[in-house]
Amino acid sequence: MTVTPSTLYQLLQSFFGNLDWWPVDSTYHSYHHTDPRFEILIGTILTQNTTWKNVEKALDNLKQAHALSIYQIQKLSHDQLTQLIKPSGFFNQKATRLQQLTNYLITRYQGDLNKLFSGDMIQRRLELLSLHGIGPETADSMLLYAGDIPIFVIDAYTKRMCHRLTITVSNDSYDEIQHRFQQDLNHHYPSDQLVCIYRQLHALIVECAKQFCRPKPLCSTCPLSTVCEYPCLK
């Protein structure tokens, strides 16, 4: 059976329901008059090569230090920042990446995320990709979840599930898989729903991969078992 991204979305959505991803602490930001979208940008860097549980601990430390905004991060020394984000792992690298991102936002956009997320998004994506340690997955997560830009995020979970579900792609590259998902979803849903659909489908894939489509998959209870042709089901 041919599985398409829109079939995948329908099956996962009816099993898991709305996942409301990406989480931000709105109460914190309304109290501190800070931009909640910056918490998403921080989260996309902190979540590299670690679990969300560890990211939450690092974000909690930043909140305790009242450092969940562009200018507050800029005021911290490298050592202070590494201490705060330590639970997320690779903290030296991530502190450098966060400081570079912050400097870029202040220098180029005066710390104003409205300026970052307006204008030519192809250009913005290229700018983000030019920053050290920001690859396509991180840049696209920033654009989709913080910038409301309809661009689908591909991660290792998506690649694994594409293989197992035999979602047809001509090659394994990030761009090719992204194109396959966007082409199909854009065909099935109106353009004003795409940001929501892209966000939700990425979150659904992550959830399904964590609960069922693990390295050793739990196919017998997976909500995709009726359409999946992975060998363990035969």
Query: Which chain residues interact with ligand SF4 by CB under 6 A?
Result: 161, 164-165, 212-213, 217-219, 222, 224-225, 228, 230, 233
Rounded to whole angstroms, the Cα distance separating 102 from 171 reads 35
Shortest distance (Å) from residue 52 CB to ligand SF4: 20
Shortest distance (Å) from residue 53 CB to ligand SF4: 22
Shortest distance (Å) from residue 103 CB to ligand SF4: 41
**Distance between first and last Cα of the chain:** 13
Shortest distance (Å) from residue 226 CB to ligand SF4: 9
Shortest distance (Å) from residue 207 CB to ligand SF4: 12
Rounded to whole angstroms, the Cα distance separating 141 from 22 reads 9
CB-nearer residue toward ligand SF4: 59 or 224: 224
CB-nearer residue toward ligand SF4: 23 or 223: 223
Shortest distance (Å) from residue 67 CB to ligand SF4: 39
CB-nearer residue toward ligand SF4: 90 or 230: 230
Q: Where are the alpha helices (DSSP H) in the chain?
A: 5-16, 26-32, 36-46, 52-64, 70-75, 78-85, 91-109, 113-116, 121-130, 136-141, 156-165, 174-188, 194-211
Contact 38, 113 (CB under 8 A): yes
Rounded to whole angstroms, the Cα distance separating 190 from 196 reads 11
Tokens of 26: 């709105």
The residues, ordered by sequence, that sit 6+ positions from 139 with a Cβ below 8 Å of its Cβ are 125, 128, 129
CB-nearer residue toward ligand SF4: 196 or 232: 232
CB-nearer residue toward ligand SF4: 160 or 188: 160
CB-nearer residue toward ligand SF4: 147 or 217: 217
CB-nearer residue toward ligand SF4: 129 or 218: 218
Shortest distance (Å) from residue 130 CB to ligand SF4: 35
Handedness of CA 142, 144, 150, 154 (dihedral sign): positive
Phi and psi for 155 in degrees, rounded to 5?
-135, -175
Contact 185, 201 (CB under 8 A): yes
